[in-house]
Amino acid sequence: MKKIVLSIVLSGLWITFSEFLRNEFLLKEYWVNQFNSLGLTFETLPINGILWMVWSFTLAFLLFKFLQKFSMKETILLGWLPSFFMMWIVVFNLQTLPLNIVFFVFAIPLSIIEILVAIIIIKKILHEKIEF
C-alpha cells in the first residue's frame, strides 16, 4: 500500500512540476496575450496552483488505475486523450485557448512526455517491468 501511495504522490508531483514549468515559463506569454485579447487578465493565483495540483494528482491516480488493466501504450493514450486533448477542446470552446499553444511545436510532445514519465515513475516505484 505504501508503494502505491508513493507512486501516485511522486507521479502527481512530477505532473504538477511539468505543468508549472510548461505554463509558467515556456507558454505563459501565449496565455497572457490570449486573455488580454479577450479583455481578461491571466493571473497566477494560489487557488489556481491548488486546482492544478488536484488535477495532477487525479491524473496520476487515473494513470495508476489504467496501468492495472492496460499496457503502457494504451495507458499513455487513455491518459493523454482526456487530460490534454479533451481539456484543450473545452478551453477552446471557452475561447481562452491560444491556438498557437496547441500548434506550438513542443506542446503535444511535452504533454505526452509528461504522461510517459508519470507512468515510468509509477512502474519504477512498484518495481514493475517497463515495456511498451
pLDDT of residue 104: 65
Cα–Cα distances in angstroms (integers) from residue 16 to residues 41, 49, 68, in the given order? 22, 9, 22
Let me know if 111 is exposed, middle or buried by CB neighbors in 10 A (0-12, 13-18, 19+): buried
Confidence (pLDDT) at 27: 87
Contacts of residue 93, Cβ cutoff 8 Å, sequence gap at least 6: none
Residue 67 grid cell: 496501468
Instruction: For residues 130 and 132, give the distance between their C-alpha atoms in angstroms, rounded to a whole number.
Output: 7
| Predicted pLDDT of residue 43 | 86
Task: Give the model's pLDDT for residue 65.
Answer: 97
C-alpha cell at 90: 473545452
Rounded Cα distance, 36 and 28, in Å: 12
Closest by CA position to 31, among listed 91, 105, 108, 98: 98
Query: Mean pLDDT per 10-residue run, the chain (132 residues)?
Result: 96 96 89 94 90 96 97 96 91 88 77 96 92 76
Task: Please report, for the chain, the start and end positions of each structural domain, with discontinuous segments joined by +.
Answer: 2-125
Cβ atoms of 30 and 38 closer than 8 Å = no
The span from the CA of 60 to the CA of 109, in Å, is 18
